[in-house]
Structure 1
């Protein structure tokens, strides 16, 4: 592997113009494809095999007029007054005239008026889904009642779902990353080149993703996740190869040879670090949830592009940068080589290995304690940004009717004939009313031929409350005792519960697949049994403490104001499995970067302890910079209003900090010093079976020892 990448690095350096031209052309093609084939994002969740999805499929088949998107217009009279039916009627009529609306129900006829007569709910039924709704229809819906005075009118419902905007607050993370690069590399050219390299990769990856959005359904979160990861790993991978290139230059190698060796050594670590991230993300398919599979594959694609850019475009850009990639003092020969903090820290950690290990494990274990209370749910409009139409409608509905009216469920009853449907749907409604946690169940509403009926259910509590979740399970258990009908409960709340349950079932399989494949990959890289196992155990400490801190802030509300968390509550259902996948891949990045250097020096004759110190000495500075960059990129997304993106950005940022500085740069060298030579033990029979990937570059050294390979092509 190292020899192949060495040749690739020299080829790219020598043919810099062509390589840059190819990437620029590819960037232009992906940009053009994104412009031509860009499709709308979707927040429609397809959950094959769940009761919620069965109900939605039955609605689409047997009750199509009730399967479209719905809107809810909340009307409130001034305090102390009651709503006048004559004043509400024009609002109902105006809502019914919105393009795409098939019906708007008068609240006085539907009895959706609060007991005090001050609040009313107008249910608006659209013919198509929220994704099918045009901007003109959505704008017209939001303007319903604008000319009415004397009443407060708010608009809610799933028709108002909007994709999070990209391009504002997350730029803060990129600016911080640029500052860290300048400080670390000591050269504006090197910093700018590294950042430019990463941005090209992100541009190509995002362009390709948006070009596919016309044929592949993407959720609104998918591009943000791809951008988040593409930026973070793109900068990090370029930084690692650039740092090794500069090291080779200071050792007296010519620029082309330095580029080849940097790509062969650091590039090997980049390839395998990227492979672990790709495996972790692609492994999300085991959850069996289509939108999560697409999300993982999209992010994996941007990471794969970042790796390709780092090992091909970067050597070409290095060729154009010339000696300016070095700090001015090194170019003029004024710099004096000295040991950095990494060596000091490495000696300290290896000397006090056992105490540091005990303190580190105890501290991370304490941080993980809040994770015991982890609760999951899909976000509801109660967690939307304050001041947004959806949030205002949610709050006004809760004020007038209680939070349960934001948790509405639908029981879909299907039989073979109208008489049976009427009887069994009525029986279902009576049984639902007996369930604790249910406030009301409406009389059955049949379709045209009477074979399917809907029973609307109003829980007592909010969409993400534990009481509502229990009520959904109890309702389903009771309805399962009715024979002669197909009955399924659905709605946004029920769908969120099904998502959480299905992800919980998939988690053990996912962990086994991802951790197993990655441990096998690390075994190939490091020719060791204990190093991969240690890496996996360290990851468990990282993810446990990350979950604990995230739960404490986003769910329990501690320090929530500092992060702008307006409404603490359950974490989004797919955050744990996404966080595990992404953090495992990124954790293995630092594991590969640090330990591959330790392995390299050990193979070349150093003692285990000295090899550990050397690995820290050579890579601590660049790993520190890489972790700060990745944290700043992820942290930039914390400033977004979208609660999903905010929690995801925070969890990834804090996870990277913990893993890089506590686990990889502290606990890992402590364990390596304690293991000694045993760290690199591999049974002979297994050593013969496993292919030698030569990440440490031993074969590359023999390759370079051949006289014919020492020829240098003029720059």
Structure 2
């Protein structure tokens, strides 16, 4: 049985703690050494089979015009606010020198030549799109090879050069482009530190012990070190997206500390009953460790299920994050009990979880006791859950109505990708973006590239195509076409009238594909495809939106089956699935209100309203559904134990929910603190991940677990544990279910075994 295997594993680790700690130290050292020796760098690739933008990218690659590589742009304006490049000779000379210096950088294939265009006349420079119509802004476009040949050193070289030239030239110089998006540091390190410090503070106030607070942190740091190092090694074998390390750190810290808290809290309960430390650690891993294994497995399976979207970078990113979660689960049932065994009886000193704490003594003096999560102690929780159970209908209807109202903004959800215009003003990418938009129009920051396979057609087709595209109301201008004679492939750089993250740009892409291009190429041999970053992001968003319902249905079905196996019930897993879905929907709705509508965005440093990251809804659903199962399994396991022991549904709900409320509330507070530490990062995508995860966990641990769960379980009564007889005979017996948990028996009855209460209506 799983519980017995976990008991033996935890007990063995507790009896031989230093062997286990040494093994983890060795694993961490080997992982870090492998990362240094064989690791790679993260890189973003929007390669997605079957999309129109991917077909365009393949044609561009075949044409070899240079547009298949990475680009950067250096945006320049005279420091003198009254000067222009048309009439300021010193500024033009400095611009020419800047171009020459940039061309000499490693891996630079070439640059545009606004200085040379100015020598031909102001009109030539403006027509070429290199200098703004007022002469104030010039753009030096820098062409690099494919990203596989580049690294962060190329970004650093460009930044160092510009930093030096700023002090030598009468120019204001800013930088941006693909090179910065792909290779810039996402900046998660400070957020990780803030999250760890916040978790440490909460754990100390929760347990009232430095030793007890340090153990979950130490376990999470060990696991995160091994996990991130393993992710780095994986990056040496395949392309790992840049968001994966940040998301892996965010989720790894949250679940690692949470899992450790569940086990540690149960361990201290056993110590308080006088159980010997090694035995207490084994029992804690057997009972609390079982929900940890189940919940962690659910997270991993949910994340890996994103492969259904058939978006490679999402699949690989999910694999990287799931590795971190899996390592945290292993650490929770091996490394943590080793720490518990090494700490010995010192962990028996009760803090805020115990009745002998100084908080309890203050309470006896008439002051209300509270936990670190702002929650009332066990007796208070019992009163609250009892109150909800006496009024289940208004609480169930009210809480469900509140969450449904919060879900409504999802109807206006718009996917995309925040561009450089959403970064803080302190970032050079944002300043470059604003200068380009000011001088050339917002669409210049997100050009489209139309790739045309002429297939032997005459140049008349290309001329007609250029004219039709230029006539579209969503297109501001079309650069001269480049034709590769060897392959017969032409490429057109097209500048929309709107910015890359605006809905109108996606509409323009759709219109070009559906109406404009077919009207020219018709049924002939020529084929045209729309590519570029804006088109790729639009395509990825549409692909994930189309596959999201299938993914959600698969995760819900799998979770229902697993919960039915665990709790031997039909209605309990059905209720759990629906309530989890409701809490995630509410989190989505709040995200739309904050990020798309801008409600309260300034509180987390959001500079402007942004669309929801195209792949975020699927990623968040996978992670949040698994995380919500942590609390669901932890809580329902206790309720089920009480029901098997007493046979009374109402008593089981009050005792089970109130008995886990303190741990769940503190665990949720820790996870919310960790996730919110990422919500204050500069990058809007990181903000979105952190804020979305924090919001969903807060809703799940408060409205759902402490109101909806007890209210709905009270309304269902003994039907909670209903399982048709034929289904009971079909389902496998033994380790999957709580009924088979041998250690649960010991805990509940002191070894006599629980009273077996048959489920109703079998």
Q: TM-score, normalised by structure 2?
A: 0.88
* Structure 1 counterpart of 2:84, from 82, 85, 105: 82
Q: What secondary structure does 2:185 align onto? A: coil
Contact 2:105–2:157 (CA under 8 A) maintained in structure 1? no
Structure 1 position 670 matched with structure 2 position 711: yes
- Range with greater deviation from structure 2 (322-331 or 683-692): 322-331
Deviation at 1:115?
A: 2.3
Q: What secondary structure does 2:106 align onto? A: coil
Structure 1 position 654 matched with structure 2 position 695: yes
Deviation at 1:607?
A: 0.4
What per-residue deviation string (whole Å, max 9, x for no partner) do you get for residues 6-57 of structure 1?
2222222223232222222112111211222221111222222111111111
Structure 1 position 115 matched with structure 2 position 133: yes
Structure 1 position 124 matched with structure 2 position 142: yes
1:625 alignment partner in structure 2: 666
Gaps of 5+ in 1: 711-715
- Range with greater deviation from structure 2 (534-543 or 68-77): 68-77
Output the CA distance in 2 between the equivalents of 1:702 and 1:511.
Answer: 33
Contact 2:641–2:744 (CA under 8 A) maintained in structure 1? no
1:502 alignment partner in structure 2: 543
Structure 1 position 250 matched with structure 2 position 272: yes
Deviation at 1:703?
A: 8.7
2:517 alignment partner in structure 1: 479
Pairs within 5 Å for 1:430-579: 430-449=467-486, 451-477=488-514, 478-481=516-519, 482=521, 483-579=524-620
Q: What secondary structure does 2:738 align onto? A: coil
RMSD, matched Cα: 2.4
Output the CA distance in 2 between the equivalents of 1:240 and 1:450.
Answer: 63
1:105 alignment partner in structure 2: 112
Q: TM-score, normalised by structure 1?
A: 0.94
- Range with greater deviation from structure 2 (451-460 or 23-32): 23-32
Instruction: Identify if the C-alpha distance between structure 1 residues 263 and 425 changes in structure 2 by more than 3 Å, giving closer, same or farther.
Output: same
Gaps of 5+ in 2: 118-123, 362-376, 753-762
- Range with greater deviation from structure 2 (591-600 or 327-336): 327-336
Deviation at 1:285?
A: 0.9
- Range with greater deviation from structure 2 (251-260 or 558-567): 251-260
1:157 alignment partner in structure 2: 177
Contact 1:42–1:131 (CA under 8 A) maintained in structure 2? no
Contact 2:209–2:351 (CA under 8 A) maintained in structure 1? no
Instruction: Identify if the C-alpha distance between structure 1 residues 203 and 141 changes in structure 2 by more than 3 Å, giving closer, same or farther.
Output: closer
2:35 alignment partner in structure 1: 34
Q: What secondary structure does 1:413 align onto? A: strand
Structure 1 position 355 matched with structure 2 position 373: no
Output the CA distance in 1 between the equivalents of 2:711 and 2:131.
Answer: 66
Structure 1 position 10 matched with structure 2 position 11: yes
Instruction: Identify if the C-alpha distance between structure 1 residues 670 and 421 changes in structure 2 by more than 3 Å, giving closer, same or farther.
Output: farther
Deviation at 1:238?
A: 1.0
Instruction: Identify if the C-alpha distance between structure 1 residues 154 and 182 changes in structure 2 by more than 3 Å, giving closer, same or farther.
Output: closer
- Range with greater deviation from structure 2 (146-155 or 618-627): 146-155
What per-residue deviation string (whole Å, max 9, x for no partner) do you get for residues 561-608 of structure 1?
111001211111111111111111111111101011101111223301
Deviation at 1:141?
A: 6.5
Contact 2:65–2:484 (CA under 8 A) maintained in structure 1? no
Pairs within 5 Å for 1:559-638: 559-638=600-679
Deviation at 1:117?
A: 2.7
Q: What secondary structure does 1:615 align onto? A: helix
Output the CA distance in 1 between the equivalents of 2:353 and 2:148.
Answer: 60
Deviation at 1:4?
A: 1.9
Structure 1 position 427 matched with structure 2 position 434: no
Deviation at 1:75?
A: 2.7
Structure 1 position 308 matched with structure 2 position 306: no
Output the CA distance in 2 between the equivalents of 1:600 and 1:268.
Answer: 13
Deviation at 1:448?
A: 4.6
Instruction: Identify if the C-alpha distance between structure 1 residues 150 and 196 changes in structure 2 by more than 3 Å, giving closer, same or farther.
Output: closer
Deviation at 1:433?
A: 1.7
What per-residue deviation string (whole Å, max 9, x for no partner) do you get for residues 381-422 of structure 1?
1122322221111000011111111121110111234xx263
What per-residue deviation string (whole Å, max 9, x for no partner) do you get for residues 172-199 of structure 1?
2221211221222222211111221222
Deviation at 1:66?
A: 2.3
1:92 alignment partner in structure 2: 99
Contact 1:185–1:191 (CA under 8 A) maintained in structure 2? yes
Contact 1:190–1:326 (CA under 8 A) maintained in structure 2? no
Output the CA distance in 1 between the equivalents of 2:81 and 2:284.
Answer: 72
Deviation at 1:690?
A: 1.5
Output the CA distance in 1 between the equivalents of 2:579 and 2:391.
Answer: 18
Contact 2:208–2:352 (CA under 8 A) maintained in structure 1? no
